[in-house]
Amino acid sequence: MPKKQRILPAATLAKLQKLDSDLELDSPDALEIDEALLEIVSEDLPDDYDLLEDAVPARAAFWAAWALELEVNNGGFDQLFLNKGPVPAAVALRFYTQYGPADVADLLGRAIKALPGGVLPANYDDMTKLLTPDDHRERERLSNVLNELDDNFFERDGVSLSEVRLKFVLAHSAEFFKVV
């Protein structure tokens, strides 16, 4: 039996809508809502990231968008791939391709193309094999490309990823909030 989805109260949605109308989606209050959403969504997702696409699509997309930012900020694209695997990377790529910002979709797409074979593998185990090639030159090439993409991610400016996620949540509010 699937877990019952946890949701935030309608009052939180009203607060988020006000922050959006006041153009304050990068405020501390907005970040608090973004983090609360991550917490409830994370608890409802499968433990096996290879099954992420079996989750509610809007929630999986929100979580994958968050996972990209957290993992890349913490250790780079290789950490995203090693810690989360191919399915969250694919979901994050679809999210950022559809909702922006385009530079993040481009960086993730380039990180995927840098992998041996240039595509995401089918599962987590295959991903770990790809990221640790036997050939020393291939390991060095991959490391150099991913490090450069990490630097580009860290240096990016423009719209905050939190703002993009929160606008997505507003557009899909029934998946996240108790709407009466």
Task: Tell me the pLDDT tens digit for each residue of 69-115.
Answer: 999 999 999 999 999 999 999 999 999 999 999 999 999 999 999 99
Predicted pLDDT of residue 180: 52
Residue 8 pairs in a beta bridge with: 177
Predicted pLDDT of residue 94: 97
Predicted pLDDT of residue 2: 46
Can you list the pairs that 15-19 forms with residues at least 24 positions away whose Cβ atoms lie under 8 Å? 16/166, 16/169, 16/170, 17/170, 19/166
Interior/surface letters 76-85, b for 16+ CB within 10 angstroms, e for the rest: bbbbbbbebb
Predicted pLDDT of residue 127: 93
Its pTM surpasses 0.85:
yes
The domain locations on the chain are: 10-175
Predicted pLDDT of residue 146: 97
Q: Which residues of the chain have pLDDT under 50?
A: 1-2
Predicted pLDDT of residue 1: 35
